[in-house]
Amino acid sequence: MWIHLRFVGAYSLITGKKKDSINVTRGITIGGLLDRLTEKYGSSFHDRVRDRNGSLRSNCRLFFGQEDVSRLGLDTPIKEGEDVALYFLIGAAGG
């Protein structure tokens, strides 16, 4: 199945693209998609998306259409034809 991607902020710089599509297996999860994108775009992508524990970074936002799904968990399945946007929130990280 095809997933349509939009990269915003730092993600467009890392991937060199603002839009892309990726063919994935039916029933893939958010975590599985991020793994596939790491394979495609490398460790720089991984380091911006996931923290040391493998969780989604707090300054990363995932949207399916208009819905923020960043907090749903990495085991959440993605529907076929879903439009996925990755946003990097500047100044959202820190402690």
Query: Model's pTM, two decimal places?
Result: 0.82
Mean pLDDT over 54-66 rounds to 84
Q: What is the pLDDT of residue 64?
A: 81
Separation of alpha carbons 23 and 65, rounded Å: 18
| 49, part of any domain | yes
Q: Which of the two residues, 77 and 67, has the higher pLDDT score?
A: 77
Q: For residue 39, give the CATH number of its domain.
A: 3.10.20.30
Q: Which domain holds residue 42?
A: 2-88
Tokens 């929130």: give the residue. Answer: 89
| 94, part of any domain | no
For residue 91, the SS3 value is: coil
Which stretches of 1-95 are DSSP H helices? 10-15, 30-41, 43-49
Does the pLDDT value for residue 93 go beyond 70? no
Q: What is the pLDDT of residue 71?
A: 75
